[in-house]
Amino acid sequence: MAKSIFLTGASAGLGEGMARGFAKRGYSLALAARSRDKLEVLAEELRRSGAAKVVVYTLDVTDYDSVPRVMGEAAAELGGLDIVIANSGIATATPAGRGSFEAARRVIDTNLLGAMATIEAAVELFRKQGHGHIVGISSVSGVRGLPTQSAYSASKSGVTRYLESVRADVFGTAIRVTDLAPGFIDTAINRNLPSRPFLVSAEKGTEIMIAMIEKQVGFRYVPVVPWTLVALLLKILPTRLLAKAS
């Protein structure tokens, strides 16, 4: 039987790219996002490209109570879930003291609390099943608080710390936890930035991510080179140099 995946943020960006890659590998897919129309179009494409089964769900991960309900419906439809990927995310500039708190709140609500709601529901489901694989999408931006990106950096750092705790909570069980931290992968979420060093295409980036998910890695930067080294440098970079980057 084909493995089944529940994927949030599936209608665009990394989610759309991963959906295409998993479909070609013959997985069954439960795709969730706010845009039902985009999901329906994508689902038709994926059915033709080799997916074992594709079902779609309208879901806003900031409607936290709806997350376990929708995930439960997907599990029932697909006969259980093997992998849950908490991928939903937004990004916007939130410079300190510039009236951007409401934008910052939306980023935290979606990227961190939405991911937590998704992962919490997945752990509960997987404990009942006796197995499962949780994947969270963090970011190199979570390594250090970046100029004008306070909320995004905080949200992605929070995802990593949360996944570390979840990994400890499920240690010794058949539940696996993966944290993938992409650098610059060419999607709409980062195309308005003035600079995107070491950029890779969405197709290449998501292929790397899929391979890491299939290997059930614990934590990886994506791609591993050069972002593992960049992350180390970010941690020690003086603030005056970091500030100039803005």
Tell me the catalytic residues: 152
| The token pair that represents 171 in the structure block | 């240690």
Cβ contacts of residue 9 below 8 Å, gap of 6+?
A: 15, 32, 33, 61, 87, 88, 89
Q: What is the rounded CA–CA span in Å between residue 241 and residue 225?
A: 23
- H helices within 108-149, ranges in order? 114-129
**Around Cβ 84, how many Cβ atoms within 10 Å?**
27
Find out whether 122 and 134 touch, Cβ atoms under 8 Å. Answer: yes
CA dihedral (24, 184, 7, 22) in degrees, to 10, reads 10
Q: Which amino acid is at 111?
A: N
Find out whether 14 and 209 touch, Cβ atoms under 8 Å. Answer: yes
Report the Cα 192 to chain-centroid distance in Å: 20
Angle between helices 66-78 and 114-129 (to 10 degrees): 40
Q: What is the rounded CA–CA span in Å between residue 218 and residue 200?
A: 22
